[in-house]
Amino acid sequence: MASTDELLTLASVQEAHELIKPFIHQTPVLTSAYINSLASTPQTPESLSKTEWAGHPPANPTLRLHFKCENFQRIGAFKARGAFHAIERLKQSPGFDASRGVVTHSSGNHAQALSLAARESSIPAYIVMPSISNPSKVAATLSYGAQITFSGPTAPEREAAAQKIIDEKGAVLIPPYDHPHIICGQGTAALELLSQVSVPLDAVITPCGGGGLLSGTALACSESPATRVFGAEPSFQGADDGKRGYYSGQRIESVKSLTIGDGLRTPVGKIPWSIIYERRLVDGMFSVTEEQIKAAMRLVYERLKVVVEPSAVVGLAVALYNEDFRRMVEEEVGEKGWDLGVVFSGGNVSLAALGGLFEE
């Protein structure tokens, strides 16, 4: 891993940022006095009654939250950062031939991000999607000029379809998270966040699916020892593979969860794991329930007035509702509290899907 580790440093995230700046938005950082007051108020015994903290006095941390709004990023998610970085690096590589194109298998934000980034450099993008993909996601990816190949739903089927394109076209595979250039690109969101907030951040928390965003964030903060990094996951149907792996010392390689945080259904990749766990650049992992994700979404919509997808708010849900996290903050710093950076990863949710989540 030595050669990969050398590519995975704060300096490499800073270089990534210089490369992608012309292509991405510096997204805003929002705050809400109301949400801070909720996060700094003990939960009710009722809300704790179904947790292992039932019967204990609720934690009383002080939290000032700084929301990095990657829902306003191009294609509506942080994935644009990694994709543009991978494309820029590819263009620098010796013998690069744009006509061969790039390929990935994804039905989500990475597919759209890679399609956009490739198009802006006039590189063909081949996207392998399961034939059962949501038509709106297919349409969105097509709108960025990609060529879509449908495959069966299993990983071997998708990988075989991608391999066929690699063999036939000479296309370069750009995976969604298990790739140094992707990881460094995703880390640029935290780099901006650290510079945009006028106070030093005590910690940053990001969602963790494949781990690209979390591990990139860890690199971005790796030379700021006062800024710790945490990962957040849904607990539903074992989507907290990152947390379970982190505390058992063994990466979990398979997840089958239908959590509403649909960007977080994948297991943590090998390279992200090496940063998150082996290099100990992430300080802890926390999980939240589906109801807690929905409650956090409701707050963001009704108070911040911005559109986020369910995956985006797991970090906020940890800050508001995860009693382990809240006790840690209270016990460590007391009334001084924490300035916590919270990365909202994206805002790609249809109103029909929202309707399904929140109809009464």
Residues belonging to the active site: 79, 107
Q: Is 352 in the site for a second copy (CB under 8 A)?
A: yes
Q: Are residues 259 and 290 in contact, defined by beta-carbon separation less than 8 angstroms?
A: yes
Q: Is 359 in the site for a second copy (CB under 8 A)?
A: yes
Residue closer to a second copy (CB basis): 225 or 355: 355
- For residue 297, the minimal CB distance to a second copy (Å) is 7
Binding piece for a second copy, criterion CB under 8 A, among 233-241, 274-282, 334-342, 348-356: 348-356
Residue closer to a second copy (CB basis): 153 or 356: 356
The 3-state DSSP class for residue 9 equals coil
Contacts of 135 (CB under 8 A, 6+ apart): none
- For residue 147, the minimal CB distance to a second copy (Å) is 21
* Distance separating alpha carbons of residues 44 and 281, to the nearest angstrom: 33
Q: Are residues 190 and 221 in contact, defined by beta-carbon separation less than 8 angstroms?
A: yes
* Distance separating alpha carbons of residues 45 and 43, to the nearest angstrom: 7
Q: How many CA atoms lie within 13 A of 85 on its CB side?
A: 29
Q: What is the DSSP letter of 75?
A: G
Q: Is 360 in the site for a second copy (CB under 8 A)?
A: yes
Question: What's the one-letter identity of residue 283?
Answer: D
- For residue 259, the minimal CB distance to a second copy (Å) is 18
Q: Is 347 in the site for a second copy (CB under 8 A)?
A: yes
* Distance separating alpha carbons of residues 52 and 72, to the nearest angstrom: 37
Residue closer to a second copy (CB basis): 77 or 276: 77
- For residue 352, the minimal CB distance to a second copy (Å) is 4
Among 116, 125, 127, 297, binds a second copy (CB under 8 A): 297
Q: Is 76 in the site for a second copy (CB under 8 A)?
A: yes
Residue closer to a second copy (CB basis): 224 or 289: 289
* Distance separating alpha carbons of residues 127 and 134, to the nearest angstrom: 14
Burial (CB count <10 Å: 0-12, 13-18, 19+), residue 279: middle
Q: Is 356 in the site for a second copy (CB under 8 A)?
A: yes
Residue closer to a second copy (CB basis): 10 or 357: 357
Binding piece for a second copy, criterion CB under 8 A, among 107-115, 322-330, 333-341, 349-357: 349-357
Question: Quick one: tokens of 312?
Answer: 């985006």
Q: Binders of a second copy among 298-337, rule CB under 8 A?
A: 298, 301-302, 305-308
- Cα dihedral: 164, 167, 168, 171 (round 10): 100
* Distance separating alpha carbons of residues 234 and 241, to the nearest angstrom: 9
Residues pairing with 288 in the sheet? 234
* Distance separating alpha carbons of residues 189 and 176, to the nearest angstrom: 16
Residue closer to a second copy (CB basis): 52 or 302: 302
- For residue 58, the minimal CB distance to a second copy (Å) is 22
Among 7, 98, 160, 357, binds a second copy (CB under 8 A): 357
Q: Which of 83, 95, 248, 307 has the alpha carbon at shortest distance from 181?
A: 83
- For residue 354, the minimal CB distance to a second copy (Å) is 6
Residues pairing with 103 in the sheet? 126, 173
Q: Is 350 in the site for a second copy (CB under 8 A)?
A: yes
- For residue 313, the minimal CB distance to a second copy (Å) is 12
Q: Binders of a second copy among 43-72, rule CB under 8 A?
A: 71-72
Among 7, 148, 160, 354, binds a second copy (CB under 8 A): 354
Q: Are residues 122 and 91 in contact, defined by beta-carbon separation less than 8 angstroms?
A: no
Residue closer to a second copy (CB basis): 112 or 215: 112
Among 95, 225, 249, 355, binds a second copy (CB under 8 A): 355
Q: Is 102 in the site for a second copy (CB under 8 A)?
A: no
Longest Cα–Cα distance of the chain, Å, equals 65
Residues that bind a second copy (CB under 8 A): 71-72, 76, 297-298, 301-302, 305-308, 347, 350-352, 354-360
